[in-house]
């Protein structure tokens, strides 16, 4: 048995009204016969049949509206018609499937009609006029954009405004102005060894300590840009937290720098002044390579030890006006000595001018401080939370040195490690310092 | 024109193939296998068969959106055409054209053009290229009488005559431009005169009579090949079915349709052959059976084909070969 | 260096001549291109040099000869069809939109249309409403076409060859107001990339995206802004379809500010499109809202002062950018 269904005569035809049957049950039909007349929006159309057989039952009444695809009649084979039992009224009068269009629930359709999902903004940014870039940078750096003063079109906050706010958290505008002056640096550091262990840093003993407050303890920014106290407050907050929370342990080793200095001197001979390498580049690279070997120290402590994938060494820059900045040398282990030197040449003056980008201030995974130029021999640092280690380098001094049973005088550098005892133990720290020492014995391989 | 029994059977079977193929297409349309517009050629078969037999394989063919018959006669596979109407990947235009846009490079079949008269100027251009490249080819361009009211027809005629390009313009005058009769659309209903007005050799013929169409087409094609100049041929014919599927045919009397059906080109040619003892009933049944089989195979093929993955949506907007 | 100066008109002519010499299949047709020497004297003497088979005068019959160009391209030729000005192009729009742009696709990749259509475009000669159209956006709307805008002498000279080498239909917009302008042409340049936009001037503070007559205007404005310490990057979009999104994104990512300049009227324009793409691709790079300076929403009037006021001028670009950058 076949069903004759309301034919589709056009993509825009959804249904038709049955106006006339041209057949009745029992009629023999042939392909191409007109079976009925159906009225559509375009008028009455004769509909034809594409099968052969005998009309079983007519399922649609005159003037009924019939959706496309709905059964209108049954068509029987000769055998079915002869058997007489093939007019199964119940079967064909079963509920008729609706067309696809009708089957879509109204609500679902309404939902689809809505526009694309719009990412939600933090509620507080809703009424703030800021450029998308400014908002993005602020979000990345954990700056509350509501506290940033806008200088862009119609008072909108621009990226520069956000960058200034970030810098202002680290240093006052006054400092920036003074930094531009050519006044010679006056190291406020005693020539003698700094006392051990270091405690909370103070301005006179410029102990390595990072300048950026952690996001959890934001410094008020609204007035910050004008206040010389801001940077001091930031250092105070971070170091206070470090000293309260981090159980520091300290290790120290002396490193013979004769090979390193000889290599540097040889290398620099062939270079113009601008491209010459300083020992700091070697020290930073040695630290980065040592971290590759002892990754436990390239980490943060935030609800447990979080090892960091990238080795980003932060390098402490002392500001001439007091205070410090710690620019980051990203992916230090992958950089050549030249690249590290270039980074330092770029970062140090900008740090002193308070012109660092926020990403250069926030991504460090370990901190290195070198106070050699200031004249001290040994540095005991305070870790910048949430980092777990800080490496301090003193100045290189000529010292008696015994080697192979012979005593001689060598340029000696004292390296110290301040490490978080929650994150590592002395043996790890010891391996790390030893690794630094070994790398500095093979300067050509750094 | 001398036709042997094999040739006449082929002509008859070509006309019958168009008829049965399109009947099946109509069926598949009502079953929603074929969508979009579907314009049937039923009733006009003698024109496509009669004109196209005069062409060589190298010649170009351009048609309207009522082109299934031409595509079949030109030698495109029925299955590939049906697959195209199904929107399948294996269709002649990878399913991207559908019923109105059959294309085939192998048989130099340039569509399937569905803006009335829009392809006439392109036919002039194809002729121009042949002329410039000194290829001994002609371009055969079919259109309906509705196209002759378009500006594009007149521009194309003028250029064809001006540039003397080897193009055969075939007007399939089926008396209705969509649903409006000739008398309501043309001030000058003697259509042949419109070609002549441009200085183009023009003729007209009874499009329901296969032999007459063949005769006229052969003469026209011979003249184009000899002179390199265009020809305008009007074939007066009639479509038995509606303009497209969704058409209540309010614009013409059933009686008129029935009268024209008395002049069915297939029945007429079959009767002629029976009468002339070129064909017997058995032969005819064999042809019917053969054609039916081809149509069934075409449907089976189309059903078995696949749809192009939607990831390939953007293909063929620009050529893939980089320059 | 006066010896190296060349007019925009001569650039176009040299390009056509070079194309005709390079490939026998190339021919040019259009209204008045032959005996008259070109409505703008672009093809002067080419008929004498190449003969009537290669430089074909056509009747005033845009639909006819553009359609014939498409057919000839299908038939193996490489036609250059000149539509005298864009103002007449709508007479051929069906051929362009329904045939040239669609045949490759409709035929499932079987029939490509290697056709080049050139049209003179734009405002600037007091020709009033029907002869001053900037309709690049209209054509840039159509998938299947490559739409080029020759806003510089360099492109007028070197876009045609790659356009003819393209397997698909290409429309080149040329600018009547530039025809007599003389510029130096880099001698070593042999071709231009018709896939890519072109950065005409590097800058870091703001990007101007423009095309056509906007290119020289923007470069003039950029020069003046540089005096004020504003470094403007000028990007000549030049390929209006398919739009070179990557160059746009790269420039916005660099400068964080975008400014779009065009002669076409603002609504539903190339600048609308560029602006929307910037929103889609680089919203979070933007440090200021995208701004536009476009043609006025008016049929172009005849009097000079009103005509000038209908399209962006360099001074307006300068002042709009200063405002955007909050420049004192």
* Averages of pLDDT over each 10 residues, chain C, 328 residues: 79 97 98 94 96 97 98 98 97 98 97 98 92 97 98 97 98 96 87 94 97 98 96 98 97 97 97 97 93 96 95 97 82
Chain A residue numbers with beta carbons less than 8 Å from the beta carbon of B40 are: none
The residue ranking higher by pLDDT, A125 or A291, is A291
How many CB atoms are located within 10 Å of the residue B107 CB?
18
Question: How close B251 comes to chain A (CA, Å)?
Answer: 11
Look up residue A355 and give its two tokens: 């012109």
Q: Do B29 and A42 touch (CB under 8 A)?
A: no
Nearest to B121 among C67, C105, C242 (CB): C67
- Rounded to whole angstroms, what are the CA distances from C220 to B56, C201, C202, C224? 61, 11, 14, 7
Residue B207 three-state SS: coil
Question: Per the CATH hierarchy, to which homologous superfamily does domain A247-445 belong?
Answer: Chloramphenicol acetyltransferase-like domain (3.30.559.10)
Show the CA angle centred on residue C288, arms to residues C287 and C294, nearest 5°: 140
Taking the C-alpha atoms of residue C257 and residue A152, their distance in angstroms, rounded to an integer, is 12
Q: Do A50 and B27 touch (CB under 8 A)?
A: yes
Residue listed under structure tokens 């191409």: A32
Chain B residue numbers with beta carbons less than 8 Å from the beta carbon of A45 are: 246-249
Q: Which chains touch C (3 or more CB pairs under 8 A)?
A: A, B
Residue listed under structure tokens 């089926």: B174
Q: Is residue A13 pLDDT above 70, yes or no?
A: yes
How many CB atoms are located within 10 Å of the residue B241 CB?
19
228-287 of C, contacting A, C-beta below 8 A: 256, 283-287
Domain for residue B321, yes or no? Answer: no
Question: How close A105 comes to chain B (CA, Å)?
Answer: 23
Q: Is residue A110 pLDDT above 60, yes or no?
A: no
Q: Is residue B29 pLDDT above 50, yes or no?
A: yes
Q: Per-residue pLDDT tens for A168-219?
A: 876 554 444 444 443 444 333 334 443 333 333 343 333 444 444 343 333 3
Question: Nearest residue of B to residue A32 by CA position?
Answer: B23
Catalytic residue from among C31, C62, C233, C273:
C62
Length of chain A: 446
Element (H, E) at B195: helix B192-196
Residue B70 three-state SS: helix
Active site residue C10: no
Strand segments (E) across A206-263: 248-256
Q: Do C324 and A159 touch (CB under 8 A)?
A: no
Q: Do A158 and C285 touch (CB under 8 A)?
A: no
Nearest to B30 among A7, A40, A42 (CB): A7
Q: With beta carbons less than 8 A apart as the criterion, state whether A382 and A207 touch.
A: yes
Show the CA angle centred on residue B264, arms to residues B262 and B266, nearest 5°: 145
Q: With beta carbons less than 8 A apart as the criterion, state whether C317 and C217 touch.
A: yes
Taking the C-alpha atoms of residue C190 and residue B263, their distance in angstroms, rounded to an integer, is 66
Parallel/antiparallel/unpaired status of strands C26-30 and C55-57: parallel
Taking the C-alpha atoms of residue B174 and residue B208, their distance in angstroms, rounded to an integer, is 10
Look up residue A308 and give its two tokens: 């960091």
Length of chain C: 328
Residue C9 three-state SS: helix
Q: Per-residue pLDDT tens for C189-235?
A: 878 999 999 999 999 999 999 999 999 999 999 999 999 999 999 99
Q: For residue A201, is the peptide bond before it cis, meaning its omega torsion is within 30 degrees of 0? A: no
Q: Give how many domains chain B has, as a whole number.
A: 1
Q: What is the CA A244 to chain-centroid distance, rounded?
A: 29
**Residues B141-169: what's their mean pLDDT?**
98
Taking the C-alpha atoms of residue A254 and residue A277, their distance in angstroms, rounded to an integer, is 22
Look up residue C217 and give its two tokens: 């205007």
Residue A99 three-state SS: coil
Q: Does A30 touch chain B (CB under 8 A)?
A: no
Q: Do B29 and A8 touch (CB under 8 A)?
A: yes
**Residues B216-243: what's their mean pLDDT?**
96
Look up residue A277 and give its two tokens: 């390498």
For the domain that residue B303 is a member of, what is the CATH number?
Answer: 3.40.50.970
Nearest to B49 by CA among B17, B92, B24: B17
The reported pLDDT for the residue numbered C277 is 97
Q: With beta carbons less than 8 A apart as the criterion, state whether C212 and C122 touch.
A: yes
Q: Is residue A122 pLDDT above 70, yes or no?
A: no
The residue ranking higher by pLDDT, A289 or A11, is A289
Active site residue C187: no
Chain B residue numbers with beta carbons less than 8 Å from the beta carbon of A11 are: 35-36
Taking the C-alpha atoms of residue A276 and residue C163, their distance in angstroms, rounded to an integer, is 52
Q: Do A42 and B247 touch (CB under 8 A)?
A: yes
Nearest to A249 by CA among A430, A16, A48: A430
Q: Does A9 touch chain B (CB under 8 A)?
A: yes
Helical spans, DSSP H, in A294-425:
337-352, 359-362
Taking the C-alpha atoms of residue A356 and residue A169, their distance in angstroms, rounded to an integer, is 12
Question: How close C71 comes to chain B (CA, Å)?
Answer: 4
Catalytic residue from among C18, C131, C202, C327:
C131
Map out the domains of chain A as residue ranges.
2-114, 132-217, 247-445
Q: Per-residue pLDDT tens for B233-273?
A: 999 999 999 888 888 888 999 999 999 999 999 999 999 99
Q: Which chains touch A (3 or more CB pairs under 8 A)?
A: B, C
Look up residue A40 and give its two tokens: 């559509």
What share of chain A has pLDDT > 90, as a percent? Answer: 28
Taking the C-alpha atoms of residue A17 and residue A40, their distance in angstroms, rounded to an integer, is 7
Q: Rg for chain C (alpha carbons), in Å?
A: 20
Domain for residue B320, yes or no? Answer: no
Chain A residue numbers with beta carbons less than 8 Å from the beta carbon of B292 are: none
Residue A77 three-state SS: coil
Residues whose CB falls within 8 Å of the CB of residue A25, separated by 6 or more in sequence, listed in order? A55, A56, A57, A58, A87
**Residues B41-64: what's their mean pLDDT?**
98
**Residues B64-88: what's their mean pLDDT?**
98
Question: Nearest residue of C to residue B97 by CA position?
Answer: C106
Question: How close B253 comes to chain C (CA, Å)?
Answer: 35
Is the whole-model pTM more than 0.90?
no
Nearest to C70 by CA among C104, C38, C36: C104
Chain B residue numbers with beta carbons less than 8 Å from the beta carbon of C146 are: 318
Taking the C-alpha atoms of residue B235 and residue B220, their distance in angstroms, rounded to an integer, is 12
Q: Does A32 touch chain B (CB under 8 A)?
A: yes
Q: Do B319 and C95 touch (CB under 8 A)?
A: no
The residue ranking higher by pLDDT, A33 or B162, is B162
Contact residues, chain A to chain C, C-beta under 8 Å = 131-136, 151-153, 156, 158-160
- For A350, half-sphere exposure in the C-beta direction (CA atoms, 13 angstrom radius) is 17
Domains and CATH numbers, chain C: 5-184 (3.40.50.970), 198-324 (3.40.50.920)
Nearest to A9 among B23, B246, B250 (CB): B246
Q: Could you say which DSSP state residue A157 is in?
A: B
Mean pLDDT of all residues belonging to chain A: 76
Residue A56 three-state SS: strand
Q: Do C284 and A135 touch (CB under 8 A)?
A: yes
Nearest to C15 by CA among C165, C213, C177, C202: C165
Q: Per-residue pLDDT tens for B95-131?
A: 999 999 999 999 999 999 999 999 999 999 999 999 9
Confidence of residue A117 (pLDDT cuts 50, 70, 90): very low
Q: Do C288 and A158 touch (CB under 8 A)?
A: yes
Chain B residue numbers with beta carbons less than 8 Å from the beta carbon of C109 are: 94, 315-316, 319-320
Parallel/antiparallel/unpaired status of strands B60-63 and B109-112: parallel
Domain span at B29: 5-312
Nearest to C209 by CA among C171, C156, C254, C168: C254
Look up residue B312 and give its two tokens: 């390939």
Q: Does C150 touch chain B (CB under 8 A)?
A: no
Element (H, E) at C265: strand C258-265
Residue A115 three-state SS: coil
Taking the C-alpha atoms of residue A167 and residue A175, their distance in angstroms, rounded to an integer, is 11
Given CA atoms C138, C141, C145, C149 in this order, what sign does their dihedral have? positive
The reported pLDDT for the residue numbered A81 is 84
Q: Do C76 and B133 touch (CB under 8 A)?
A: yes
The reported pLDDT for the residue numbered A201 is 39
The reported pLDDT for the residue numbered A111 is 41
Look up residue C200 and give its two tokens: 């005409």
Q: Does C319 touch chain A (CB under 8 A)?
A: no
The reported pLDDT for the residue numbered C18 is 97
**Residues A401-423: what's their mean pLDDT?**
85
Taking the C-alpha atoms of residue A238 and residue A232, their distance in angstroms, rounded to an integer, is 10
- Rounded to whole angstroms, what are the CA distances from A131 to A157, A168, A222? 6, 20, 19
Q: With beta carbons less than 8 A apart as the criterion, state whether B176 and B243 touch.
A: yes
The residue ranking higher by pLDDT, A14 or B265, is B265
Q: Is residue A278 pLDDT above 80, yes or no?
A: yes
Helical spans, DSSP H, in C191-269:
214-227, 245-255
Q: Does C170 touch chain B (CB under 8 A)?
A: no
A28-32, A174-178, A327-331, C174-178 — most confident range: C174-178
Chain B residue numbers with beta carbons less than 8 Å from the beta carbon of A41 are: none
The reported pLDDT for the residue numbered B177 is 94
Q: Do A132 and C286 touch (CB under 8 A)?
A: yes
Nearest to B132 among C53, C104, C107 (CB): C53
Q: Do B247 and A69 touch (CB under 8 A)?
A: no
For chain B, report the end-to-end CA distance as a whole number of angstroms.
49
Given CA atoms C170, C175, C179, C181 in this order, what sign does their dihedral have? negative
Q: For residue A197, is the peptide bond before it cis, meaning its omega torsion is within 30 degrees of 0? A: yes
Does ipTM exceed 0.90? yes
Question: How close B115 comes to chain A (CA, Å)?
Answer: 19
The reported pLDDT for the residue numbered A84 is 66
CA dihedral defined by C84, C87, C93, C95, rounded to 10 degrees?
A: -10
Instruction: Determine the angle formed by the axes of helices B5-30 and B265-275, rounding to 10 degrees.
Output: 150
Mean pLDDT of all residues belonging to chain B: 96
Q: With beta carbons less than 8 A apart as the criterion, state whether B316 and B96 touch.
A: yes
Chain B residue numbers with beta carbons less than 8 Å from the beta carbon of C83 are: none
- Rounded to whole angstroms, what are the CA distances from B101 to A256, A333, B38, B300? 85, 63, 11, 21
Question: How close C253 comes to chain A (CA, Å)?
Answer: 10
Q: What is the b/e burial string over B272-300, where b = at least 16 CB atoms within 10 angstroms of the residue's CB?
A: bbeeeebbeeebbeebeeebeebbeebbe
Taking the C-alpha atoms of residue B235 and residue B18, their distance in angstroms, rounded to an integer, is 18
Given CA atoms A61, A62, A64, A65 in this order, what sign does their dihedral have? positive
Nearest to A153 among C283, C284, C324 (CB): C324
Question: How close C282 comes to chain A (CA, Å)?
Answer: 9
Taking the C-alpha atoms of residue A147 and residue A143, their distance in angstroms, rounded to an integer, is 8
Backbone angles phi, psi at A120, to 5 degrees: -75, 140
Element (H, E) at B78: helix B78-86
**Residues A414-423: what's their mean pLDDT?**
93
Nearest to B186 by CA among B197, B198, B173: B173
**Residues B191-202: what's their mean pLDDT?**
97
Q: What is the CA A378 to chain-centroid distance, rounded?
A: 37
Which one of B29, B100, B246, B251 would you mutate to disrupt binding with A, by most A Cβ within 10 Å of its Cβ? B246
Chain C residue numbers with beta carbons less than 8 Å from the beta carbon of B96 are: 105-106, 108
Second CATH level (architecture) for the domain A2-114: Beta Barrel (2.40)
What share of chain B has pLDDT > 70, as a percent? Answer: 99
């Amino acid at each position: 048995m076949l069903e004759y269904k309301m034919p589709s005569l056009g993509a825009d035809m959804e249904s038709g009204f049955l106006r006339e049957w041209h057949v009745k049950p029992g009629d023999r039909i042939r392909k191409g016969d007109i079976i009925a007349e159906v009225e559509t929006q375009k008028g009455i159309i004769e509909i034809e049949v594409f099968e052969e057989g005998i009309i079983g039952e007519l399922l649609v009444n005159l003037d009924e509206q019939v959706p496309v695809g709905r059964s209108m009649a049954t068509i029987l084979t000769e055998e079915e018609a002869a058997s007489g039992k093939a007019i199964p009224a119940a079967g064909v009068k079963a509920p008729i499937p609706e067309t696809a269009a009708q089957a879509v629930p109204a609500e679902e359709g309404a939902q689809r009609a809505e526009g694309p999902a719009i990412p939600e903004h933090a509620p507080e940014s809703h009424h703030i006029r800021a450029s998308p870039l400014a908002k993005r940078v602020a979000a990345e750096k954990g700056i509350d954009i509501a506290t940033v003063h806008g200088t862009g079109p119609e008072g909108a906050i621009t990226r520069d405004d956000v960058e200034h706010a970030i810098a202002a958290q680290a240093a006052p505008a006054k400092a920036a102005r003074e930094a531009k002056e050519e006044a010679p640096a006056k190291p406020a550091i005693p020539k003698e060894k700094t006392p051990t262990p270091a405690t909370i840093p103070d301005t006179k003993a410029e102990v390595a300590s990072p300048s950026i407050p952690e996001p959890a303890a934001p410094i008020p920014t609204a007035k910050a840009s004008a206040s010389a106290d801001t940077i001091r407050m930031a250092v105070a907050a971070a170091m206070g937290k470090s000293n309260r929370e981090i159980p520091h342990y300290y290790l120290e080793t002396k490193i013979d720098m004769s090979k390193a200095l000889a290599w540097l001197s040889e290398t620099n001979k062939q270079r113009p002044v601008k491209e010459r390498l300083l020992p700091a580049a070697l020290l930073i690279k040695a630290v980065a390579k040592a971290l590759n070997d002892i990754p436990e120290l390239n980490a943060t402590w935030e609800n447990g030890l979080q090892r960091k994938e990238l080795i980003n060494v932060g390098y402490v820059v002392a500001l001439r006006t007091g205070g410090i900045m710690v620019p980051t040398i990203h992916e230090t282990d992958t950089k050549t000595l030249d690249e590290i030197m270039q980074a330092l040449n770029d970062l140090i003056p900008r740090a002193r001018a308070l012109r660092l980008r926020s990403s250069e201030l926030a991504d460090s995974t370990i901190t290195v401080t070198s106070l050699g130029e200031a004249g001290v021999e040994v540095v005991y640092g305070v870790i910048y939370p949430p980092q777990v280690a800080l490496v301090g380098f003193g100045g290189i001094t000529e010292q008696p040195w015994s080697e192979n049973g012979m005593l001689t005088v060598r340029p000696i550098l004292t390296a110290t490690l301040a490490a978080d005892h929650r994150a590592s133990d002395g043996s790890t720290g010891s391996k790390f310092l030893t690794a630094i020492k070994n790398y500095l014995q093979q300067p050509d391989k750094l | 024109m001398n036709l042997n029994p094999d040739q006449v059977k082929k002509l008859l079977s070509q006309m019958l193939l168009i008829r049965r193929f399109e009947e099946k297409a109509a069926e598949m349309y009502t079953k929603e296998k074929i969508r979009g517009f579907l314009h049937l050629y039923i009733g006009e078969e003698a024109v496509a068969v009669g004109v196209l037999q005069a062409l060589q394989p190298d010649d170009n063919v351009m048609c309207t959106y009522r082109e299934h018959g031409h595509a079949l006669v030109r030698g495109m596979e029925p299955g590939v055409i049906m697959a195209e109407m199904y929107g399948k990947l294996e269709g002649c235009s990878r399913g991207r054209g559908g019923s109105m846009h059959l294309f085939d490079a192998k048989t130099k079949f340039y569509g399937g053009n569905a803006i009335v008269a829009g392809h006439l100027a392109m036919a002039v251009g194809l002729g121009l290229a042949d002329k410039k490249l000194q290829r001994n080819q002609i371009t055969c361009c079919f259109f309906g009488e509705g196209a002759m009211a378009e500006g594009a027809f007149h521009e194309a005629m003028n250029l064809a005559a001006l540039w003397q390009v080897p193009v055969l313009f075939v007007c399939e005058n089926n008396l209705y431009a969509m649903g409006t009769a000739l008398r309501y659309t043309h001030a000058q209903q003697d259509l042949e005169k419109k070609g002549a007005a441009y200085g183009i050799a023009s003729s007209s013929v009874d499009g329901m009579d296969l032999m007459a169409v063949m005769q006229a087409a052969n003469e026209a094609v011979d003249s184009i090949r000899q002179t390199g100049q265009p020809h305008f041929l009007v074939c007066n014919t009639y479509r038995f079915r509606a303009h497209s599927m969704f058409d209540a045919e309010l614009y013409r009397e059933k009686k008129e349709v029935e009268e024209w059906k008395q002049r069915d080109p297939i029945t007429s040619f079959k009767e002629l052959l029976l009468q002339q003892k070129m064909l017997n009933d058995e032969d005819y049944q064999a042809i019917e059976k053969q054609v039916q089989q081809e149509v069934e195979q075409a449907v089976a093929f189309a059903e078995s084909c696949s749809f192009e993955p939607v990831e390939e949506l953007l293909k063929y907007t620009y050529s893939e070969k980089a320059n | 260096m006066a010896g190296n100066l060349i007019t925009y008109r001569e650039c176009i002519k040299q390009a056509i001549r070079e194309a005709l010499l390079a490939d026998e299949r190339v021919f040019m047709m259009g209204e008045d291109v032959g005996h008259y020497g070109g409505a703008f004297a672009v093809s002067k003497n080419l008929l004498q040099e190449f003969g009537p088979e290669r430089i074909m005068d056509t009747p005033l019959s845009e639909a006819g000869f553009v359609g014939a160009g498409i057919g000839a391209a299908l038939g193996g030729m490489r036609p250059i069809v000149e539509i005298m000005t864009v103002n007449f192009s709508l007479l051929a729009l069906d051929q362009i939109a329904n045939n040239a742009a669609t045949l490759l696709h409709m035929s499932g990749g079987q029939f490509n249309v290697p056709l080049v259509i050139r049209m003179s475009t734009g405002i600037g000669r007091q020709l009033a409403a029907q002869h001053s159209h900037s309709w690049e956006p209209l054509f840039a709307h159509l998938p299947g076409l490559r739409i080029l805008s020759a806003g510089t002498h360099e492109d007028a000279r070197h876009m045609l060859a790659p356009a003819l080498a393209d397997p698909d239909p290409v429309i080149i917009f040329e600018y009547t107001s530039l025809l007599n302008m003389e510029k130096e042409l880099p001698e070593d340049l042999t071709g231009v990339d018709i896939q890519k936009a072109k950065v005409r001037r590097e800058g870091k503070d703001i990007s101007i995206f423009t095309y056509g007559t906007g290119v020289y205007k923007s470069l003039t404005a950029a020069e003046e802004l540089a005096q004020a310490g504003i470094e403007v990057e000028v990007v000549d979009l030049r390929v209006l379809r398919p739009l070179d999104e990557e160059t746009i994104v790269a420039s916005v990512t660099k400068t964080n500010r975008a400014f779009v300049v065009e002669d076409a009227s603002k609504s539903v324009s190339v600048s609308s499109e560029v602006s929307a793409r910037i929103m889609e691709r680089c919203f979070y790079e933007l440090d200021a809202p995208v701004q536009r300076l476009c043609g006025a929403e008016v049929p172009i009037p005849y009097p000079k002062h009103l005509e000038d006021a209908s399209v962006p001028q360099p001074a307006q670009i300068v002042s709009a950018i200063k405002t955007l950058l909050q420049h004192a």
